Amino acid sequence: MQAAVFVLKKVAAGGNVSRKRDRKFYRNELLPVFAPPGAAFPVAWTINSICAIAGGLHVLNMPRETEGRSEFLRLQSAAWALYVTFEAAYFGLRSPINAAGVTILYSGATVASFAVAARRLRDPLAAASLAPTLAWLALANPVGITQALWNRDAFWKVGPFMNPERRWLK
């Protein structure tokens, strides 16, 4: 997965890829007071990924005819595909609009996966495996949307759409 993330980001950025450049870009964005520090992202996504992989393996090992199994696995495949595109969409293309869009779509796939785990699979372990990601997304969506509204988007060549009050800025 990480190799796919790197390759997509490198292509999107025209070969100009560096963590230092990405950190500078993130720090220069207008961020809401509730935005997590950059250092929180690798920690959160390590936890989210480990839990999602454990839940995915748990469901994958269920009998093929288990109601909801295929749907859960399809939704999680979509979530992983979106995960792989995030860095290219945001950092590679310098697009907070793309980042918000990918985050919202990822949230939809995760919420739908959770619903399948809880209602169709009736499996508390599969549902619980998504809890850390859902908690993170409860923060990531408002951060992503405010960034898309408050910052210039180099890819789409639009924005900012709003000027935030100082008290909302980090």
Contacts of 123 (CB under 8 A, 6+ apart): 58, 59, 62, 117
Q: Tokens 């809880």 correspond to what residue?
A: 118
Span of 2-6, 31-35, 109-113, 156-160 with lowest mean pLDDT: 2-6
Q: For the chain, what is the mean pLDDT?
A: 95
pLDDT of the residue at 13: 82
pLDDT of the residue at 18: 84
75-101: pLDDT as tens digits:
999 999 999 999 999 999 999 999 999
Question: C-alpha distances in angstroms, 122 versus 76, 114, 165?
Answer: 17, 10, 45
CA distance 97 to 101: 6
> Could you tell me the pTM of the whole model?
0.93
- Omega before 160 within 30 of 0, i.e. cis: yes
Share of the chain above pLDDT 90, in %: 83
1-55: pLDDT as tens digits:
778 887 888 888 888 888 888 889 998 999 999 999 988 999 999 999 999 999 9
Domain ranges of the chain: 39-168
CA distance 15 to 41: 23
Question: Cα 70 to chain center, whole Å?
Answer: 22
pLDDT of the residue at 76: 98
